[in-house]
Amino acid sequence: MKSLFTILSILLLSACSFLKEEDSCTLLSEPLSKESIVSRDNNANVAAFNNTFVFRGRRGVEVFYQPGDCYIGDYSTEWSFTGEGSTESVNGNLGTLEALSGGSICVVVSASGNRSEQVCQEINFIKNNVWKAYADEFPSPFTHHRVILNIGGRIFSGFGMNNDWFELDTATFTWTERNHIPNLVDFNAFAGFSIQDKGYLVGNNSILYEYSPATDSWSEIGNTPFNVAQVLNLGAYDFREEYNKTVLGLSMSGKGYFGLGDMFYLWEYDPSTKEWTEKAQYPERPGFYNHGFSYEGKIFFGDYIYDPTTDSWEKGNQNFNVSEKFSPGFVEMDGKILGAQNGRSILTDGNTFNKVEEDDEYLPYKLAPLETVKNGASVGRFAFFVESTSKYKDNSWYYYVKN
């Protein structure tokens, strides 16, 4: 369920007095100040107010006030924002703000036929190197191993243990349902890859599917030369929800790669010939919560590196695993690999790391989620991550905004 970080804006309204019995109360308010604003968490604990918003971070804003002696009936609030973004009066004294820039959030209170003066509070705004779980959950039931792909500059996500497919509007951060694969029962697809303007999905039925965004349609390419359930060792788990080994799906140099999970196998797909080739096996049985990505013609998975020119694995300098505080995942942005370790954004070549942001007062808003493996895709200044495997059930989808 989505939760809203609630800001309680306390407007001190003066009591009124009667000159005549038929006179009505006049609603008055004093301007907001930091001293009159507190924040409250989900457990209703009052804490010091911090008026910092992040890009597209959505918050609930609530007004509490003391009515005059002759106050009668309901009251309402009208919210506005002077910066770029959107506000909405939800009900009663509750409003929401989704900010795209800095500005001031303002409110007018109405009660008993009277209106207060508009009061405003300026907010701090950050959008560089920000990690954030979006307020709305992913628009389908929770699943592990959700696939996310950049296909021709467009972001698509879905499947895992569901048969669904959505496209993300990166301007509005809204998902639109697209066509899923028809006529399937008990279908799982734990990984995929994109090559040029097509997306590819490998199902537990050992069939490769191709998606065309131009026609919003799926086509069946054919059976894989391997049994997916055996290659991933799916049968060892009584419930598919318990399968928490990372399934690798990525593209590199015009070819797609699929495999690993709970076993040693890696397969390469060539779309020009529509053929699969088995590659060198992983040197050991993969552990839990590995990360995988490709960079400069090599595949990094856990603590090993695969080189397709020699068809061999070698031990790497790093262990890309949650146990080493790497979370939530890795994506390529502007020719570099973006990830995070211990909550801090990093750029890596697979061997060394550079910290992205400096220590400052806004650092708590720039920390990445911990103890999780998420599949990611990037476009422009944004990277997006959806659930793969984690120690905790999480149907949130995360975004990162590059500096």
| CATH number for position 331 | 2.120.10.80
Task: Say how far apart CA 245 and CA 232 lie, in whole Å.
Answer: 9
CA neighbor of 161 nearest in space, from 139, 144, 137:
144
Task: Say how far apart CA 308 and CA 311 lie, in whole Å.
Answer: 4
CA neighbor of 317 nearest in space, from 333, 298, 334:
298
Are 146 and 264 members of one domain? yes
Tokens of 23: 């006179």
231-235 contacts: CB < 8 A, separation 24 or more? Answer: 231/259, 231/261, 231/263, 231/265, 231/267, 232/190, 232/259, 232/260, 232/261, 232/262, 232/263, 233/261, 233/262, 233/263, 234/188, 234/204
Are 352 and 213 members of one domain? yes
Are 331 and 196 members of one domain? yes
Are 145 and 120 members of one domain? no
Tell which of 90, 105, 127 closes a domain.
127
For the whole model, what pTM was predicted?
0.87
Task: Say how far apart CA 46 and CA 229 lie, in whole Å.
Answer: 51
Are 105 and 162 members of one domain? no
Are 274 and 371 members of one domain? yes
Are 120 and 204 members of one domain? no
* pLDDT digits 0-9 by tens, 355-399: 887 788 888 889 999 999 999 999 999 999 999 988 777 899 999
Tell which of 99, 127, 155 closes a domain.
127
Task: Say how far apart CA 188 and CA 203 lie, in whole Å.
Answer: 6
Tell which of 68, 99, 127 closes a domain.
127
Start-to-end Cα distance in the chain: 30
CB-side neighbour CA atoms (13 Å) of 250: 24
Are 256 and 345 members of one domain? yes
Are 146 and 32 members of one domain? no
Are 218 and 348 members of one domain? yes
Q: Sheet of 165-169: strands edge to edge?
A: 147-151, 154-158, 165-169, 174-178
Task: Say how far apart CA 348 and CA 115 lie, in whole Å.
Answer: 56
CA neighbor of 74 nearest in space, from 109, 29, 111:
111
Are 135 and 102 members of one domain? no
pLDDT in tens, the chain (403 residues): 333 333 333 333 333 322 233 344 454 444 434 343 333 434 444 444 457 889 999 887 776 655 544 445 567 788 899 999 999 887 766 778 899 999 988 887 777 667 777 777 788 899 999 999 999 999 999 999 999 999 999 999 999 999 999 999 999 999 999 999 998 888 999 999 999 999 999 999 999 999 999 999 999 999 999 999 999 999 898 888 888 899 999 999 999 999 999 999 999 999 999 999 999 999 999 999 999 999 999 999 999 999 999 999 999 999 999 999 999 999 999 889 999 999 999 999 988 888 887 788 888 889 999 999 999 999 999 999 999 988 777 899 999 999 8
Cα 231 to its chain centre, rounded Å, is 29
Domain residues for 163? 131-401
Are 118 and 152 members of one domain? no
Task: Say how far apart CA 265 and CA 277 lie, in whole Å.
Answer: 11
Task: Please tell me the total count of domains within the chain.
Answer: 2
- CATH assignment at residue 88: 2.60.40
